[in-house]
Every structure is written in C-alpha cells, then in structure tokens.
Chain A
Amino acid sequence: MAVIVKQVELSWLDRTYLWPILKGMAITFRHFLKQLFTPTSKRFTIQYPEMKKELPQGYRGLHELKRHEDGSIKCVACFMCAEACPARCITIQAEEFGDLETTQGFQEKRPLVFQIDMLRCIFCGYCEEACPKDAIWLRSDYEISAYDRASMLFGKWDLMNTYAAVDGKARITEDPTPAVPHPPVES
C-alpha cells in the first residue's frame, strides 16, 4: 500500500525559524502558567503519601479470606486456588472439624494453614476465579511492604483480618468451632 506523504508547504514566516520558535514558546509558557496556578489537588500528579489514587472497581490488591456471619472461614480447603496459582504462592494445609456431638463423625474441611507468600504473588486474580466458594477476594489495598521476608508471608488470620478495619468488622483470631483432634498416627 502506497502511503502518500503530505508535503507541507511552509509559508515564508514559518521558514524564518524565528516565528515558529515564538509560537512554541507561547505554548510552553501557557502550560507553565496553567500549571503554576492550578491548585495541587487538581494537578495531574498525585502526591503519593498525602494523596492517593482512586482505584477502579475490581482492582486486584491484597487478598481477603471471607468469613461467614458467625466468624467461621468460608474456605473449604479444596486446593483449587493453590492449583490455579501460576506463581505457586499459596500453601494450604487442611483440617477436619464438625459438630461432633450431633454428627458423630468428621464432616467438614477447612484450612488449618492458609499462607500466601506476598513476595511471590503476582496479583493475577486466578485464585479468586478458581474459588468455588467465593472465599478469597482480591481487594483494594496495594501498600504491602515489610522490612523482612518473613513478614511477607501472610497466614490464615492475617488474611481473614486484612480488611476488618475497612469493613468495620471485628478482628478474629480463632475459629468458632474447634477442630477435631487428629487421631494418633498409627505406626
């Protein structure tokens, strides 16, 4: 496909080189004045620690493990998220629990350990999509940093409380139903 390049015929005024310079300087000066008299809150630059960007709906930030109304975890330790995770940053260890007096047996499953390595996580949101119980959500917090690697391993209780303050919920550190004591391992 042939492209016809438009030859711009410059007027004698433009060919002096001086007049276009003056025009250009007028443009830059207009920008200068505009920026100078714009209050900080209306400038394009977001002065980060003082001002924060308004995040779009569906932003994938720090994870939250959702809980039921009684405070029990929604997660059923099905390992779907850990399988879906391309960065392999989710570590789950399951445990059994149930109302032993009525059911006389082991009927429910939940994570004993649910750990996300935030240094490995790429915030792709695949865990959220894989979850059959809507138990893991990626939400708006992006200020995830620490002074050492160990603190970047978020455990089950960290993840359940990540947005407690934002949502006005109580922080919890214990499951409402106790876990079944593991039967002694027979050797």
Chain B
Amino acid sequence: METFARLAHLPPHLFWMIVKVLVAFGLPMTLASLLTWVERRGSAMIQDRIGPNRAAIGPFRVLGLLHVAADGLKSFLKEDLVPPHANKALFWLAPILAFVPAMLGFAIIPFGQSFTQGGVTYHLSLLDPGNGMGMLLPLALGAVAVYGVLTAAWSSNNKWSILGGMRISAQMVSYEIAMSLAVLAVFMRAGGYDPHEIIANQFGAWNLCAQPLGFLVFVACMFAETNRLPFDFAEGESEIVAGYLTEFGSMKFALMYLSEYVHLITASALITTLYLGGWRVPMVPDPGPWLSIAAFLTKVVFVAWVFVWVRWTLPRFRYDQLMKAGWKLMLPLALLNLLLSAGWMLVHRAA
C-alpha cells in the first residue's frame, strides 16, 4: 500500500482515502447500471422472453450489455425540457436531491475485512469505525430520500406527480418506523451501531438466523423504501401515469431512474451488512481482504437479484392494503421482534 502511495506522491492515509472514495462512488454506480441490464434481461427470462440484445458495436452484441451505454447516450442527447408551469429551481434540484442521499448511504458500509499493513490498519469502508454515526447515517439518509421524491412531485406542478409523490412519501415515512425498530434489535444484539461492530458480532451466526422476524420486517420495509414492487406506488400507468417522474425527461429522468437503482444497491448492502454477515464467509473465520470483498459483492448482487426476482413475481398491493400492512402488521411485528430479542438477551445475561 505504501509503495502505491509513494508512486502517487501522496501520504498513505490520503491515498487510501482517495481509493476508497473512488470505490464507494464507482461500485454503486457500476452495479446500478448493471442492474438495469439485469432487470431487463432477467425479467425477460422469467417471462420466457429474450429481452433487449440488439445494441452492438459492429458485430459484437455482448449479451445486450451495450443497451446500458446506449440508454445513457440517448438520455444525454434528448431535449432537456422543463415544463412551463413547473417551479424551475426545484425542478432542477429534485434529481440531485434524489441522487445524492442514495449515493451517500454507501459511505458507511464496510465492503471488506480491515487489514493491517506496515503497522497501519486499513479499513474497507469510506468512514472509519468509531465515527459516531454508524448505521444511523443510512437510516437518516433514507428519510432524506423522501425529499427528493417530494421535491420532484411538487415542482412538476402536475396533479399526477403530486398524487404519486403523496403516496410515496406516506409509504416511505410509515415504513421507516418499522424499519428503524427492526434495526434497533440488531443494534441491541451487537451492543453498538457501528457497522464494523455489527459485522464483528455476526461471527458464527448471522443476524438472519438470530432474528428471522426482524429480517423479514426489514426486507419488506426495504422494498417499500426503494419503491419496488410489490410496493411501487410512485408510479401506476393506469392511475397516475408515471407518478412523480411524469414531467421528467432526458438526463433528469435518467438521474432519477439511476438513483432508484443506486438506492436498491444501497438497500442490498444494508441488508447484507445488518443481516447477512457483511463480508463474512461461512466456515472461514478470518477471510482476509480479497475473499471478504468477494463475499460481500456476492451477497450484495444476490440480494439485488432477489429484488428483481420479487418484482417480476408479485403483483402490487392496493394502497389501503399497503398502509394497513405498514401500520398494523409491520410495526407490531417489529415491536414483537424487539421484545423477543430483548427478552432473549435478558435470559442470556442472567444465565
């Protein structure tokens, strides 16, 4: 590590920080754009279709992966239209407000095991442990993500946008409570809210095994937070056109769309860290940086695939069913999970 740093004429900790920033920015972006491909081809395969496979450079089609590049290029070349009755400043701000919190959530996630080299410990998360924020950061940012959606809906000055924005903000806010309560049980088990502590605590048994109920509640809430089916109330062609995205076009739309997928990647990373043991490899107590990064990526990609898989399996809920499930089912279940794990800890400590 120090050799690389010397080659770049930078002190080792600064060099390491730059590498981490690049990774923490590049990884979700890359995975998100790949996920658009996975979603299209995967859904096609699930529905016995083939999916987009025609974009090509010369004779090379590369399994339709070039559609991702073609889409990006297309959205850059499209007319950047701001509707005349929209609130222009907010309309410009909305994609940024949607995109930035989605990206920031990844900063806290450790994507590999910390390692020591030359007497210096290198942590594989953008924010080192002991920063005082821990897993509260992604939870807080999840709450901020509502503002992106709301700003987009309000600034469009369109009744469908506002209806979609209203639905989605109500949904996100009500599911946030159950989500936070589910996470609270994890914090209690780990005795702290730092992701490094939480992963260290999952040695032997993942939180999935220790708190299956909490896992279910958290995953369901993550589906609601990322606006994925069966909770995709932001859109609805037959009712509210494209919801809060109705008036958006060109790169603004692409950014909103991409932020949804980045959000999805962050959600997968959160599920991985909180419940699937983060970078831990089963049966290997000390995997080392490379194997741990591979394990983390595998888990994140798998969870992201589950998001896609569920989307093409389940029909959506009705809006009242959604709210009912959020308040009358998820919240009591999260509370029950909290009680159970508290009771378990009490018994465990007494014994």
Contacts and interface: CB of A to CB of B under 8 A. Distances in A.
Interface of A: 18, 21, 24-25, 27-29, 31-32, 34-36, 40, 43-45, 47
| Residue picked from A18, A31, A34, A43, most chain B C-beta under 10 Å | A31
Interface in B24-82: 42, 44-50
Contacts of B314: 21, 24
A25 B50 contact: no
B327 to A, nearest CB: 16
Contact of A31 (B47, B50, B216, B310): B47
B313 A21 contact: yes
A45 B312 contact: no
A29 B45 CA distance: 9
Contact of A44 (B42, B46, B48, B313): B48
A31 B49 contact: no
B310 A43 contact: no
B216 A18 contact: yes
B309 interface: yes
19 contacts: A21-B310, A21-B313, A24-B313, A25-B309, A25-B310, A28-B312, A29-B46, A31-B46, A31-B47, A31-B48, A32-B42, A34-B48, A35-B44, A35-B46, A35-B49, A43-B48, A44-B49, A45-B49, A45-B50
A27 B312 CA distance: 11
Given A18-B216, A43-B50, A47-B50, A36 B45 contact: yes
A118 to B, nearest CB: 27
Nearest to B49: A45
A28 B309 contact: yes
Contacts of A31: 45-48
Given A31-B46, A31-B47, 10 more contacts: A21-B310, A25-B310, A25-B313, A28-B312, A28-B313, A31-B45, A32-B42, A34-B48, A43-B48, A45-B50
Nearest to B230: A21
SS of A interface (majority): helix
A167 B224 CA distance: 62
| Residue picked from B42, B44, B50, B310, most chain A C-beta under 10 Å | B50
Interface string B294-309: 0000000000000001
A44 B48 CA distance: 8
Given A21-B313, A21-B314, A25-B309, A32 B50 contact: no
Interface of B: 42, 44-50, 216, 309-310, 312-314
A28 B50 contact: no
A40 B309 CA distance: 22
A44 to B, nearest CB: 6
B20 to A, nearest CB: 35
Nearest to A22: B313
A24 B42 CA distance: 16
Nearest to B48: A35
A41 to B, nearest CB: 12
Contacts of A24: 313-314
B45 A35 contact: yes
A36 B46 CA distance: 9
A16 to B, nearest CB: 10
A32 B45 contact: yes
B293 to A, nearest CB: 27
B42 to A, nearest CB: 7
A40 B45 CA distance: 12
Contacts of B48: 31, 34-35, 43-44
A21 B45 CA distance: 19
Q: Which 8 A-B pairs have the closest CB atoms?
A: A35-B45, A28-B313, A45-B50, A32-B45, A28-B46, A24-B313, A32-B46, A25-B313
Contacts of A34: 48
Contacts of A45: 49-50
Nearest to B311: A28
